[in-house]
Structure 1
Amino acid sequence: MATRSKPAPQPAESKPAKGVRVRPVPAVTRSIAILRLLGEHKQPLTLKTVAEALHLVPSTCLHILRVLVAEDLVTLDPGTKRYALGTGMISLARSVLEGGGFTQLVQPVLDRLAAQFGVTAMGVEITARQTVMVLALSRSSQPFRVHTDVGSQFDTLVSATGRLIAAYSGETWPSLKEKFAQVVWDKSPTFTGWKKEVELTRSRGWSLDRDNFMAGITVVAVPVFAPGGRLVHTLVVVGLSSQMGAAVVQQLAQVMQREAADLARLLGGS
């Protein structure tokens, strides 16, 4: 995992958890789609642009935008009639980041990893939308730093975290092969080679991506299991491949596994 974040997908119903029936609520789904669309673009958008991008009836889109503006989640420039995300989104994001739980507990862990090994360290969540999101990070004091931001999203099976997801998801190989084919790599591994790495990940409890997602970059990831043994979070470190030989990676993985086990216990997992 490094700098290539994944654009938010077009609105679609999320797959509910097994045994849970979720009734579609179009207004909610469309509101969230509008917020995601505005978040993807650097420049404010017109009503027409938003409606066309999301295949919405303009009048319906306008009604939703007016509600979002009233709630300070979206702003409207009266002069240009363009919409952008509002400051209300900052308050919501701050509530998530400062609300305790994994994000709060993982930060000192990331700081220790970054300082000890001279890497960029990240706390990652596997979202219900089947993307990988950076919740917290710590950068080293080294001249080289991998640039990413809190809130960046990536393909589910990408890089080292992707191998963890494949190892612990319980999905069939045919299903994983379809998803694997959609991942964008700098140097794509073969599916056969990637499958062997996933099996190795399952046996040793940590994963490695060396130069696949991004040339010259090595990524190590370990799982942080939630109650019931679910894989919801991972610890990820990123560094230059030239500085992360086999011995360093092995030592790093062992330290990360100890930290992940402590985090899991604090979070009530295993």
Structure 2
Amino acid sequence: MTSDDKKPTTKRQVPAVSRALAILRFLARSNEPVGVNPIARELGLIPSTCLHILRVLEEEGLVEFDSNLKRYTIGIGILPLARAALQRNTFSVLIQPKLSGLSEKFGVTGIATQLSEPGQMVVIALSQSNIPFRLQVDLGSRFPALISATGRLFAAFNVEDDAELTERFHKLTWDHPPSLEQWREEVVKARELGYAVDQGSYISGVTVVAVPVFGASRKMTRSIVAIGISERLQDKQIPKLVKSMMAIREDIEKIQIDTGS
């Protein structure tokens, strides 16, 4: 065992911080205000402990309390923190104008995602297409790391435990879910090709194309994604789209190497 292996995790060192982060993440995922007891039950916390943390977070503006409903939501005080993080994220700054060019050229919505909390990808850059479709994407949107085209890449390059993959796959929500066998074949194909395509499985009538961006460990830490209406984004266009997306990745990697960022 190395010295690094012996170091305690942050959770063991500061459990109150870990609990506060868990509460913030839970509220960020919740579409409706939530009461203390459901939060505590979901996160395995003692209700009195949960309430104490919520009151501190409320005082700091990170959560908001509805006195009529007796429920909590994520607070706008989180916005300056998120904005500062995005402004300091070199990748999101570099890719934003390139996503705009991608959207204009191919009529797609371009997004960049980054691995955030365990099992979640977060949108860190976005360029909306002028062509409307029903998939709503916003900066800061989160989705399971294994879903859609990005998910096939995440499974291909980041998850080695077969049992874990199977368990997490069955928790995913799709409009037209593929079978486990079909999905596994697509994961293998994504590993071979270096990109992945989801044609209407995740969202009916919507095609999602994703290209991985790797970290120093050669694990996928980010992705470049193009989303379009399947009727408009034909099979013959996808290779050209993928080529452009890979070129964007190479351009950004070169800039980061040259600048040391």
Q: TM-score range by the shorter chain?
A: 0.7 to 0.9
Question: What SS does the corresponding residue of 2:241 show, helix, strand or coil?
Answer: helix
Q: Is the 8 A contact 1:221 1:234 kept in 2?
A: yes
User: 1:67 deviation in Å?
Assistant: 1.9
Greater RCO structure (CA 8 Å; 6+ sep)? 1
**Structure 1 residue corresponding to 2:218, chosen from 206, 214, 229:** 229
For normalisation by structure 1, the TM-score amounts to 0.82
AA matched with 2:254: R
Question: What SS does the corresponding residue of 1:242 show, helix, strand or coil?
Answer: coil
For normalisation by structure 2, the TM-score amounts to 0.85
Q: Name the counterpart of 1:139.
A: 128
AA matched with 1:182: K
Alignment of 1:37-56 (within 5 A): 37-41=26-30, 44-48=33-37, 50-56=39-45
User: 1:33 deviation in Å?
Assistant: 2.5
Q: How many residues align?
A: 252
Q: Name the counterpart of 2:154.
A: 165
User: 1:74 deviation in Å?
Assistant: 2.6
User: 1:145 deviation in Å?
Assistant: 6.1
Taking the aligned partners of 1:178 and 1:48, their CA distance within structure 2 comes to 28
User: 1:29 deviation in Å?
Assistant: 2.1
| Residues 39 and 162 of structure 1, relative CA distance in 2, 3 Å threshold | closer
Q: Name the counterpart of 2:15.
A: 26
| Residues 70 and 160 of structure 1, relative CA distance in 2, 3 Å threshold | same
Question: What SS does the corresponding residue of 1:229 show, helix, strand or coil?
Answer: coil
Alignment of 1:1-270 (within 5 A): 19=5, 21-22=8-9, 23-24=11-12, 25-41=14-30, 44-48=33-37, 50-76=39-65, 82-144=71-133, 146-169=135-158, 171-268=160-257
Taking the aligned partners of 1:257 and 1:94, their CA distance within structure 2 comes to 27
User: 1:77 deviation in Å?
Assistant: 5.3
User: 1:65 deviation in Å?
Assistant: 2.3
User: 1:112 deviation in Å?
Assistant: 0.9
Taking the aligned partners of 2:69 and 2:237, their CA distance within structure 1 comes to 55
- Larger helix fraction of residues: 2
Taking the aligned partners of 1:144 and 1:243, their CA distance within structure 2 comes to 11
Q: Identity across aligned pairs (percent)?
A: 39
Where does the alignment leave 5 or more consecutive residues of structure 2 unmatched? none
